[in-house]
Amino acid sequence: MPNLIGMVLKDRATPTPIDHTFNPYGVENGVATLVENTGVPLGNPRLTMSQNRNNNTGRHKTICKFAIPVMGQVVVNGVAQDTILRMAYADLTFNWDVSSTALERKRLIQHIADLCTSGPTKDSILVDLEGFW
């Protein structure tokens, strides 16, 4: 079982990607949480990860979720208050057969990485929100 340690993840900002450091926040009910400290806890982006096994099928399930808030300020009675304007979410679920090999799992993970970094899904579908035709 791996230690819960911080992760540095890059965004796709241009011209220079920005490093985002997600630090361990805790583990509760088998769900590990990492947050990027923005100075305003309400606005901290978070990553959760869990791993469990279905006793009936033997399948292993790995779930990774991102919740990224976009913050702004509203003025109420002349006082500026931080608020969440909107959220971006991503849920990634892997289901591994009990007989899957490490190589099979690595291949699928690489397919997902490639899906998000090349071809039409990189910009047209995931960024520009275009449909298929």
DSSP strand E in 29-59: where? 31-35, 46-53
Structure tokens at 124: 């047209």
Q: Are residues 76 and 116 in the same domain?
A: no
**CATH number reported for the structural domain that contains residue 89 in this entry:** 3.30.380.10
Number of domains within the chain: 2
> Is residue 6 scored above 80 in pLDDT?
yes
The length of the chain in residues reads 133
Q: Is residue 112 part of a domain?
A: yes
Residue pLDDT, tens place only, 93-113:
999 999 999 999 999 999 998
Angstrom distance (rounded) from CA 83 to CA 111: 37
Q: Are residues 106 and 92 in the same domain?
A: no
Whether the pTM exceeds 0.85: the reply is no
* Pairing between β-strand 46-53 and β-strand 60-76 as defined by DSSP bridges: antiparallel
Q: Are residues 77 and 117 in the same domain?
A: no
Domain span at residue 88 reads 7-98
Q: Are residues 90 and 123 in the same domain?
A: no
Structure tokens at 30: 């088998």
Structure tokens at 66: 């991102």
DSSP strand E in 5-119: where? 7-10, 19-28, 31-35, 46-53, 60-76, 79-96
Residue pLDDT, tens place only, 76-90:
999 999 999 999 999
Angstrom distance (rounded) from CA 127 to CA 14: 13
Residue pLDDT, tens place only, 22-55:
999 999 999 999 999 999 999 999 999 999 988 8
Q: Are residues 76 and 126 in the same domain?
A: no
